[in-house]
Structure 1
Amino acid sequence: MTAPDFAIRSQVNGYGGGALCAGPDAAFAVEASQQQIHRIDPETGITKAVTQDPDASFGGLVWDACHHRVLAVRECAGRQQLVAVRDHNEVLPLHDSEDFYSAPALSASGKQMAWVCWSLPDVPWVRSVLWVADVDEDGTLVHTRCWPTPAEGSVQQPVFDGEKLHVLSDHEGWWQPWRVSFEDGQANWTCLDTTAADHASAPWQLGERHYCELGQDGWARVRYMDGVGELWLKRPAGSSPGKIAPDFTDFRHLVVQNDQLYCIARSATRLDSILAVDVATAQVRILAGNETPFPDVPIIAPEAFQVPPSKGVSEEVGGFWYPPVEGWSESDPPPTILIAHGGPTSTAWPVFHPQVQFWCHHGFAVAEVNYRGSSGFGRHFRMALAGNWGQADVEDMERAADYLAAVGKADARRLFIQGRSSGGYTALMAMTHSQRFRAGASLFGVSDPARLRELTHRFESGYLDWLLGSPEQFPERWHERTPVRQSHRIRRPMIFFQGGQDRVVVPEQTRAMVGELERNGQAVELWWFEEEGHGFRQRHNQVSLLRNLLAFYQRNSQKCDDGG
């Protein structure tokens, strides 16, 4: 529908989301370069800007059928508001008293609206609240009110089943579906599914949808069990719930239309797919995608692993292990790359990762670890990283390395650790903490949290204090957990990759870290990509990163005569 130079992407909160919605006769999308909402004609592909607000970004788009308009989150000059947009740059502010907004939801009649807000210094997976309002005939909001959860928690993804409001909340330990009703000025919260599982991932982006209502007590929901996404369907009118589409391991953006459930599904060995599920029969059809990534090359599927509790650590830690294509056995285990995911409140999902396949086809095993703080394992596990960043995550990466070596799936003498962004911080802290890893790789990783705290964007401006505690209250902790100040502890080779236009981990952080290692006489490499930002997008730079990182790992994985 769109021209090659029309990219769709929102930059609200830095992570975007909800950059596209569909009306009855047109689609609406946020164009990446200018961050304005465009109307897209599905017949001709002609696009027309419906907002002309050069200082603002839009995201979290939702179609309002009752008032024939687009609802959105508008971000401008460090402030956000909930707005309604019609053609010809008619932008009507709806609500603007809070720091942050998520995508809103409308009841079937269009007379009720619900959304989620959160306030600094919180991030939405720590603490957020549900808001509701009545919608007047002219589309304005009246009787606006805030309904906090019964206990401290994070809420997300409000939806209506007719006029009944549902929301996901973790105030009892898991992101579970709740029905919220209002009587005599009070909110009544009723849990709809007590399964001990998160029914969503951390809301880094706007517009996520992990469940939907089907009417007559029917529903579709995603459950994350031991890091694997499952799609569950309860057909209307009394049928029992059942798991469907078992060949897939993650599901996003659930929506129902004309008794068909649609979603984006992911698997470990195929490309992403669009699924259609017949609500009446539970039959699954693949509408698009699901291609074999490399037709002539075997795809390595992951194997889940669980690290049992250890002395002083009561939580189990899990992850996914990918063996090399060939050339290893338990008596001759492979060199292994342990990957710390970013966030750090993100998750390693067992879905297709081209870079993981790359390492497996070059003789390395790969282990993606869901350390404490990862999402998808309940509120307690996620909140365990509060004040413990650079300690709990590092301990868990080491525990995973020791476990894999003990069961013959990793060569203890040829362990590597790698991470991007906050995962790079975990890798750097692990390299300062012990000699367990043969070498480490930081891909635009955080090396100076205090510097990042000064420059980070508004969405995460209170996040580092949550991860490490206030620097005024815990100055020694900040010193001990700042890689650039602990660089003298690193005694093994390091490699760094950095974009010159990175606004998250500013380039000076990596230059300072490399400079300290060079002054200490340590083996260090720096690969600089001046035109890249936080994450490399240009294909030739992605290829260069892989080639140089592979050469680094190969040099450092050679077996020595002394067994080192």
Structure 2
Amino acid sequence: MTASRAGIFWLEFDPATGNNLLRKVSGGASHPVTGPEFGIRSEVNGYGGGALCAGPDALFAVAASGQQIHRIDPRTGASYALTRDRDASFGGLVWDDGHHRVLAVRESTGCQQLVAIQGDNNVLRLHESEDFYSAPALSASGTRIAWVCWSLPDMPWVSSVLWAADVDVDGALVGARCLPTPTGGSVQQPVFDGEELHVLSDHEGWWQPWQVSITTGQPRWTRLDATAADQASAPWQLGERHHWPLGQGGWARVRYVCGSGELWLTRSAESPPVRVAADYTDFRHLMAFNDELYCIARSASRLDSVLAVNPETGHARTLAGGETPFPDTPIVTPETFRVPPSANVREEVSGFLYPPVEGRSENTPPPLILIAHGGPTSTAWPVFNPQVQFWCHHGFAVAEVNYRGSAGFGRDFRLALAGCWGQADVEDMERVADYLVARGRGDATRLFIQGRSSGGYTVLMAMTRSQRFRAGASLFGVSDPAHLREVTHRFESGYLDWLLGPPDDFPGRWQARTPVLQAHRIRRPMIFFQGGQDRVVVPEQTRAMVKVLEQSGQAVELWWFEDEGHGFRQRRNQIALLENLLAFYRRCSQKCDDGG
């Protein structure tokens, strides 16, 4: 999301084309800016982010095709490629008004740099030598800049470092220096309030806002909000904004409480924080412009909304989106559940339960689908998900689980998965299954487990070690971590060693937690969905798992979508996935009825 005098701009996913399209609000109405064929998406780090920014007279966006930065006329939508660097991708775009240029992260084979695009195809390197860079932030005067770096083998939510520099009149960086936190941690989203530098850091256990004063010697870190809550999500993408200055010491900040997002405003340095827009459960891309706060907001009962919030009154109005998805059909809203600690596990685990639509289930208790989110350092949020609604309208209950390792519950909970992937997450899925069954919210004989990407790995590991689940569904899931370690992209090249421990140090652990090597333990039906263009979890992962299951005589189905990558973007393929998965679950339920 970005803004200029030409309007408020954002990206909107188009299911018909699978593209992110550019739209704007001006004159009180929403309009397309570019045509449906012009998709916008960055592929930096494999997950992108920061693919759009606005200058005073033009927009700048990363074209999905070619990964180059295009200059776009906000009135006509006409565009041309500002960069023509075939070997690179760009992301994390920021407009530098003082030097009339675009700042960006440039990624090419094996390296990243912080760069400036100063005119047509003129890419200047501002800083390099670090492994990874996030989107930069500029002070109001444009004479100071800050950004975040991290180094292999770390992921940015494990360990990252704040950097800062001065910017001279020619736009060069002067005196670039690292600003370490008092103790180790993860920092993200630097932003300036005037000339004061602020950042979110979890070195005290939660991603909380800190002011960083740069004087002689070591920087001085001052915490601005000690609330025991993460105020950001895991930084998988560049350009996330969960906090933003409102002027006169005022701030907008997001807090995550038991997996649900809350928007809080502080109107001045002396005033207490006030919660606003309480009907929404997640907020992204905060931005202040012309005395209003703008953001993308999500809720459990409506489509994503572009919100404008008055900082003085807290009143929120919808500029675009926010439609009721099914005007004539009931929306199932989530119930928060919490599984208390036990003698063996000291952490509470929580999630969101969606019961079946009343009258749609013939069974009491109903069949229950447990969903393991991807990442695994990610989160299940209580926001509208048409696939969850699909299951509820076909008689299933659904539980989305925030197992150990999920983001939004503090640093300790997030790092609890280190060395424990395939064990702690599986234990937590089992704990949730037992908890909900004991309370009559799911049928113990009709428990299904489903997950995508790393969630698919959790599914496979659960099916190798547990008989709780009647069947499992892996959507482009990891089946061979060791092979994935050899071919995965650079961003995640050290992630698997963190999740499982280095293979040379823990060979037995890798053997025991490799689904393709443990497939003989699976005794229940499995279904797989895979995209042929997947560059994150490569297709060979699914092929190998299916082959081993077939050779051992297990019941297995494979649905292949050659034109999809990591996540299905095309409407017809999403429909096919749901239809085939529904038929699979129904067959497995029928076998249960027949005593099979």
Coarse TM-score class (shorter-chain normalised): over 0.9
Aligned twin of 1:8: 40
Matched, 1:545 2:577: yes
Residue 157 of structure 2 corresponds to: 125
Q: State the TM-score, normalizing by the size of structure 2.
A: 0.93
Q: Deviations over 1:40-62 (max 9, x none)?
A: 11121110111111111000000
Q: Deviations over 1:214-238 (max 9, x none)?
A: 2222110000000000000011263
In 1, the alpha carbon distance for the partners of 2:378 and 2:166 equals 35
Corresponding residue for residue 408 of structure 1: 440
Q: Distance in 1 between matches of 2:570 and 2:74?
A: 29
2-side partners of 1:458 and 1:328: how far apart?
46
- Distance in 2 (CA, whole Å) between partners of 1:561 and 1:98 is 59
Q: Distance in 1 between the 2:497 and 2:289 partners?
A: 43
- 1:190 CA displacement: 0.5
Residues 138, 478 of structure 1: alpha-carbon distance in 2 compared, 3 angstrom cutoff: same
Once the two structures are TM-superposed, the CA of residue 331 in structure 1 deviates from its matched residue by 8.8
**Residue equivalent to 1:225:** 257
Percent identity at matched positions? 77
- Structure 1 residues 250-269: aligned runs within 5 Å: 250-269=282-301
Alignment of 1:65-76 (within 5 A): 65-76=97-108
Distance change (3 Å), C-alpha of 1:560 and 1:498: closer
Q: Match for residue 201 of structure 2?
A: 169
Residue of 446, 467, 471 corresponding to 2:503? 471
State the partner residue of 1:111: 143
Quote the Cα distance in structure 2 between the aligned partners of 1:543 and 1:328.
Answer: 20
Q: Is the 8 A contact 1:413 1:563 kept in 2?
A: no
Question: What residue number does 1:29 align with?
Answer: 61
Aligned-pair distance for 1:538?
A: 2.0
- Judge conservation of contact 1:335–1:365 (CA < 8 Å) in 2: yes
Structure 1 SS opposite 2:558: strand
- 1:165–1:180 Cα contact (<8 Å) kept: yes
1:484 corresponds to: 516
User: What residue in structure 1 maps to residue 13 of structure 2?
Assistant: none
Q: Distance in 1 between matches of 2:498 and 2:375?
A: 13
Q: Distance in 2 between matches of 1:137 and 1:92?
A: 15
C-alpha deviation, 1:563, in angstroms: 6.9
In structure 2, what is the equivalent of residue 152 of structure 1? 184
Deviation at 1:326, TM superposition (A): 2.2
CA contact (8 A) 2:46 2:536 kept: no
Q: Structure 2: which amino acid aligns with 1:517?
A: L
* 1:331–1:408 contact (8 Å) kept in structure 2: no
Shift, 1:184, TM fit? 2.0
Which deviations, in whole Å up to 9, do the C-alpha atoms of 1:370-422 show, x marking residues without a partner? 00000000000000000000000000000000000011111111100000010
One-letter identity of the residue aligned with 1:51: T
Are 2:214 and 1:182 aligned?
yes
Structure 2 unaligned runs (5+)?
A: 1-32
Following TM superposition, by how much is the alpha carbon of 1:328 offset from its aligned partner in structure 2, in angstroms?
A: 7.6
2 CA distance for matches of 1:555 and 1:330? 15
Normalising by structure 1, what TM-score?
0.98
* Deviation digits for residues 407-442 of structure 1 (CA, Å, limit 9, x no counterpart): 111111110000001000000000001100000000
Asked if 1:381 corresponds to 2:413, the answer is yes
Which shows bigger deviation, 69-78 or 530-539? 530-539
Query: Secondary structure of the equivalent of 1:557?
Result: helix
- The one-letter code matched in structure 1 to 2:458 is T
Q: Which residue identity lines up with residue 285 of structure 1 in the other structure?
A: R
Q: Using a 3 Å threshold, how does the CA distance of structure 1 residues 533 and 331 change in structure 2: closer, same or farther?
A: closer
User: Aligned-pair distance for 1:197?
Assistant: 0.2
Is 1:38 the equivalent of 2:38? no
Alignment-mate amino acid for residue 137 of structure 2: A
* Equivalent-residue separation in structure 1 for 2:593 and 2:500 (angstroms): 42
User: Which one-letter code corresponds to 1:247 in the other structure?
Assistant: D
1:549 is paired with a residue whose SS is helix
Q: Is 1:442 matched with 2:474?
A: yes
Name the residue aligned to 1:48: 80
Give the one of 215, 225, 241 matched to 2:247.
215
**Match of residue 557 from structure 2:** 525
Distance in 2, matches of 1:27 and 1:541, equals 32
> Over residues 290-346 of structure 1, what are the superposed CA-to-partner deviations in whole Å (9 max), with x where a residue is unaligned?
001111211110110000112210000000000111248999210000000000000
Where 1:304 maps in the other structure, the secondary structure is strand
- Which range moved further: 177-186 or 118-127? 177-186
Which residue of the other structure, out of 101, 110, 130, is the alignment partner of 1:78?
Answer: 110
1:62 to 76, 86, 94: 94
**Is residue 350 of structure 2 the alignment partner of residue 315 of structure 1?**
no
496-505 or 411-420, larger mean C-alpha shift = 496-505
Aligned equivalents of 1:79, 1:375: Cα separation in 2: 27
- Pairing partner for 1:428 from 460, 481, 487: 460
Q: What is the rounded CA distance, in whole Å, between the counterparts of 2:361 and 2:67 in structure 1? A: 52
Per the alignment, residue 25 of structure 2 pairs with none
What CA distance in whole angstroms lies between the structure 2 residues aligned with 1:380 and 1:330?
42
Give the total of aligned pairs: 564
1:547 counterpart SS class: helix
Per the TM alignment, residue 114 of structure 1 is displaced from its structure 2 partner at its CA by 0.3
| Aligned-partner Cα distance in 2 for 1:526–1:261 | 47
Give the root-mean-square deviation of aligned CA atoms: 1.3
Q: 1:16-74: CA deviations, max 9, x gaps?
A: 00000011111110011011111111121110111111111000000111111110000
Answer yes or no: is the 8 Å Cα contact 2:361–2:394 preserved in 1: no
Q: Give the aligned residue type for 1:558.
A: Q
1:18/1:207 contact within 8 Å kept: yes
The residue that corresponds to 1:351 in the other structure is 383
Q: Paired residue for 1:513?
A: 545
* CA distance in 2 between partners of 1:407 and 1:550 (Å): 25
Alpha carbons 2:83, 2:120 under 8 Å: kept: yes
Task: Please give the secondary structure, in 2, of the residue aligned with 1:248.
Answer: coil
Give how far 1:559 is off: 7.1
CA distance in 1, matches of 2:104, 2:592: 59
Alignment of structure 1 residues 324-335 onto 2, 5 Å = 324-327=356-359, 332-335=364-367
Q: CA deviation at 1:80?
A: 0.3
Alignment check: 8 A CA contact 1:130 1:155 kept: yes
- Contact 1:319–1:369 (8 Å) recurs in 2: yes
Residue 395 (1) aligns with residue 401 (2): no
Distance 1:44 1:386, change over 3 A: same
After the TM superposition, which residues 228-243 of structure 1 pair with which residues of structure 2 at under 5 Å, given as runs? 228-236=260-268, 238-243=270-275
Could you say what secondary structure the match of 1:357 adopts? Answer: helix
Indicate the residue corresponding to 1:282 in structure 2. Answer: 314
CA contact (8 A) 2:360 2:393 kept: no
**Cα displacement (A) at 1:123:** 0.7
> Is the partner of 1:186 in helix, strand or coil?
coil
SS in structure 1 of the partner of residue 356 of structure 2: coil
Give the one of 400, 405, 417 matched to 1:368.
Answer: 400
SS in 2 for 1:158: strand
Task: Say whether 1:199 aligns with 2:239.
Answer: no
